[in-house]
Amino acid sequence: WLDEKGINLHRKAREIAPDTAIIGVGGSTFTPFGTPSEFPEFIIPPFHLYVTEMASIGVMSYSPHQKTHAGVVNALYCAPNKIFEYGKYGKPMIANDVPALKYIFKEYHCGEVVDYPITPNAISTILEKLFSNYDMYSKGALEYYQSVDLIKIVKGILASI
């Protein structure tokens, strides 16, 4: 969603906090933040969580990579694992406007959605808000992570079969 608008999140982040770097984790060639050199090679799970633990803010971008109905639905209503990874370490989050994430961010105060149209000023405003209220968003991220009891959910599913 950033690449489509020609937005370089690295530059905007550095304008707000000069010592800020954005590091993407994954083996994909999709680099929405503009600086491929800061996208290391694929890190074998669970070792990518070391990078997550050191992060200040978690960035999630969900957009359809396929121009199909299934591709659009998957991007809008996915069950993103990143929210749990960032939540586990109390990392405030920023994401594009995905209904499920928007609801969770509002309910738990753990992140902010960049509304469309996505502009450098909109991203800058959200980053400033996250850094200015870091403790609140961090606490919300941890509360969200702790609110989901996966073992109980799986047991409930198995019991219903």
Q: Which runs of consecutive H residues, i.e. helices, occur in the chain?
A: 9-16, 48-54, 69-76, 82-88, 99-108, 120-132, 134-147, 150-160
Q: What is the pTM of this model?
A: 0.76
pLDDT at 139 over 80: yes
Terminal Cα distance for the chain, rounded: 40
Q: Are 112 and 105 in contact (CB under 8 A)?
A: yes
Position 27 scores a pLDDT of 46
User: What value does the CA radius of gyration of the chain take, rounded to a whole number of Å?
Assistant: 16
Q: Are 1 and 34 in contact (CB under 8 A)?
A: no
